Structure 1
Amino acid sequence: MNTSTPPGSSTPGGSGLSEAGRPRDFPIRRGCPFAAPAEYDTLRTDDPVARVTLPTKREAWVVSRYDDVRALLSDPRASADIRRPNFPALGEGEQEAGAEFRPFIRTDAPEHTRYRRMLLPEFTVRRVRAMRPAVQARVDELVDDMLAAEQPVDFVSVYANAVSTSVICELLGIPRENLEFFRDVTRISGSRHSTAEQVSEALGGLFGLIAGLVAERQEEPGDDLLSKLVTDHLNTGNVTLNELLSAVGITINAGRETSTNMIALSTLLLLDRPDLKEELLADPTLMPRAVDELLRVMSIADSIPLRVAAEDIELSGRVIPADDGVIGLLAGANHDPERFEHPEQVDFHRPENHHIAFGYGVHQCLGQHLARLELEIALETLLRRVPTLRLAGDREEVTFKHDSATFGLEELMVTW
């Protein structure tokens, strides 16, 4: 029996409606780039499982409490399959393109399990730790390049994107001659305004590049991850060529985009907050804890966990009906005062920082250890080698990516 509250009717503590008498619009813009939207506080208190209207005009639910988001993302009844009719896509061409290219993050078991088992051994703590010297050497090169450039420079392009793209390309064995190519692919495929045709064209260019490299590795494998995937999984029939291209493509897109945005936003926060910058300069051993706190505070992948209820799911006393779309708000969870004391504060000494910035459950980000390593090295090296880094223009002119799958900066002009 379906016991859910019909859309538009009252719920305990809140109506679930906008002032216009319909479900509130989603996504909600951030007022402060270093915090969840202020409206999330109201949602958690008054309407923790709220009905919303998406840009596609489709309705869905958003979940904002920490315990509820974790419960949702670990519930096998919450499907990540992008082909389901009410999948809560936020972009114009997102669902159509996803159904075509089948990114493994938008699949369920056993398909998702097969991909994850293929990739996870390459992203263990041990494997990532062994990459530290190579990542440090590359970051030092990029700082050298930045310091040699004519000032001011766009920090997002010359450093944040260069670090994240170089690292993932180095891991896979992909030439990094044109770092902006990968950024352009993500800019189009991650925009909520791109059509299915535009996303398909952008990803087609990326897959074409990868396909050429796969053919080379079949003839002459190396010691990189792409060669290992070709030898151990493509040549053995564990995956088809299209499946391999999709898996590698989403690994590049997701890996570089999130790290780029985190490096840039974290740097802007440290420029805004010299006290935090000085704290890290005085005690570099704080960096790992600082990175986790920055991940919690930023929660840049806030609305990446898109799901469809395969069966009725009850959270906070409200039932999400089977076949309805539902979104677990990572920023809502990571700023929940029931879980984090003074969540609005940036505290590099925060105890038991069990944030879910990388998601939760079987779809938790498999590259999280690599992401932490990149952030630690990128921020520590920058602070140590360019302590005079500062904004080159008006702070109010800094532009943010409000309409992308992950929150970030379009551009950040700096000097030193």
Structure 2
Amino acid sequence: MTTTPGTAHPVADVPEFPAPRSSACPFDPSPGMRALSDHGPVTRVRSWGGSTPWAVTGHAEQKALLSDPRLSVDFSLPGFPSPVDPRHSHAGGSPDLSFVGMDDPEHARLRRMISGTFTIKRVEAMRPAVQRMTDTFIDAMLAGPRPADLVQDLALPLPSLVISELLGVPYDDHAFFQTNSKTLVSALATGEERHAAHTALSSYLDDLLGQKTAAPGDDLLSSLGQRVAAGELSRREAATMGVLLLLGGHETTANMISLGTLLLLQHPEQLAAVRDTDDPRVVADAVEELLRYLSIVHLGRRRTAVEDIEIAGVTIAAGEGVILLGELANRDPLVFEEPDRLDITRNARRHQAFGVGTHHCVGQPLARLELQVLYPTLFRRVPTLRAAVPLEDVRFKHDAVIYGLHALPVTW
């Protein structure tokens, strides 16, 4: 039996990745991924086409590597560990996802153009508006038929409307961008389908940018249009940045809303604590624990080493792929006591749900705000809310890069 230099165990024993979650424990990382920690915080896995990237499971190791400039996010580099089977990729390569797929200094240049919109102070000023939107969607759900689908009636519409207002995108077009966003994050879509979805969204944002440049408003797309007019940004850069913000602004938060709601329905005492408190700190702590516990980026953050890196007793060689598994870092017993227990009173703020380092999620203050508003409002206004189907009949997104629910039938 042979061993590749730097590996944690013989090549023949390298576990397959990704591994399916257990239907009995749909909120937890898959048993196969949990087992990776038995080999140490940095170990090899076998992925598409027999490639053997490194999987990082330890909290400390992930924090160090996510802040290490010797790891690149450039999708086009040889050895980059694709989250989908590259045999199904489009001939034109991966869709352009703006600065998410760039390293500094280009990443920093583009990111700075929008980061001011997502400061804590500016986002906090949106709280009354987000509260009104939440109440409006709950009103409509309560007035509609039962059972309702929490995903379609609340989890998707709320963040879609919030990001639409912020960007200056007409909410009437939400069905169009939700459909194409769903294709982009599907692990089963073909490369051609993803390419077509990205092209449709890019063309849509490009047309809208043209309108905003001619008649600017008080929104983020108008700001980007002004930068295009000033020569600071190309039209394509602005459009693809819009695609990234539209996708990231609703898809991830929507999945956290539905997953978090279902999880709290399984823990009625903790649900009651969120519902009944008047202390915003209790709600904020509950949101952080839900973010830690659920970790919806469930296929890992992907990188390629551009230089050799020594860490945890192994050498990640230049050109090798790295998969950083946040759902395992967030269940690391060295950081979180009894990590498999949901406890909304714990201090969970060391979680890595939004990443770490220069590539941490720029929109995390907005996601936190939406979750802090939605959970207590929903459970106060609908105190008898309950799932309308058994847990085993809920359709989880095992087929997507972002974990969540396809639907959540609820009644009251």
Length-normalised TM-score, structure 1: 0.93
2:4 equivalent among 1, 7, 27: 7
| Aligned twin of 1:369 | 365
Q: Is the 8 A contact 1:271 1:277 kept in 2?
A: yes
1:283 equivalent among 263, 277, 281: 277
Q: Which letter maps to 1:271?
A: L
| CA distance in 2 between partners of 1:320 and 1:9 (Å) | 7
Give the aligned length: 405
| Aligned twin of 1:348 | 344
* Offset of residue 303 of structure 1: 3.2
| Aligned twin of 1:241 | 235
Deviations 1:234-285 (A, max 9, x none): 1111111111111110111122111011000000011111111112123242
Deviations 1:98-123 (A, max 9, x none): 64524311110111111111111110
Q: Is the 8 A contact 1:51 1:62 kept in 2?
A: yes
| CA distance in 2 between partners of 1:206 and 1:88 (Å) | 25
* Offset of residue 59 of structure 1: 2.5
Q: Is the 8 A contact 1:26 1:54 kept in 2?
A: yes
Q: Does 1:87 align with 2:84?
A: no
Q: Is the 8 A contact 1:299 1:334 kept in 2?
A: yes
| CA distance in 2 between partners of 1:139 and 1:399 (Å) | 24
| Aligned twin of 1:115 | 110
Deviations 1:113-169 (A, max 9, x none): 111111111100011011111111111111111111111121111110011111111
**Structure 1 unaligned blocks of 5 or more:** none
* Offset of residue 208 of structure 1: 1.8
Instruction: State the SS of the aligned residue for 1:327.
Output: strand
User: What do you get for the CA RMSD once the two structures are aligned?
Assistant: 1.9
Length-normalised TM-score, structure 2: 0.94
Q: Is the 8 A contact 2:396 2:406 kept in 1?
A: yes
| Aligned twin of 1:49 | 42
| CA distance in 2 between partners of 1:129 and 1:43 (Å) | 40
Residues 249 and 16 of structure 1, relative CA distance in 2, 3 Å threshold: farther
Instruction: State the SS of the aligned residue for 2:378.
Output: helix
* Offset of residue 94 of structure 1: 5.9
Q: Does 1:194 align with 2:182?
A: no
* Offset of residue 315 of structure 1: 1.7
* Offset of residue 381 of structure 1: 1.2
| CA distance in 2 between partners of 1:257 and 1:26 (Å) | 24
* Offset of residue 67 of structure 1: 0.5
| CA distance in 1 between partners of 2:123 and 2:150 (Å) | 25
Residues 277 and 109 of structure 1, relative CA distance in 2, 3 Å threshold: same
Q: Is the 8 A contact 1:193 1:403 kept in 2?
A: yes
Q: Is the 8 A contact 1:82 1:95 kept in 2?
A: no
Q: Does 1:385 align with 2:381?
A: yes
Instruction: State the SS of the aligned residue for 1:24.
Output: coil
> Which range moves more in the overlay, 91-100 or 234-243?
91-100
| CA distance in 1 between partners of 2:99 and 2:300 (Å) | 13
Q: How does 1:289-304 map to 2 (within 5 A)?
A: 289-304=285-300
Residues 10 and 206 of structure 1, relative CA distance in 2, 3 Å threshold: closer
| Aligned twin of 1:324 | 320
2:244 equivalent among 245, 250, 256: 250
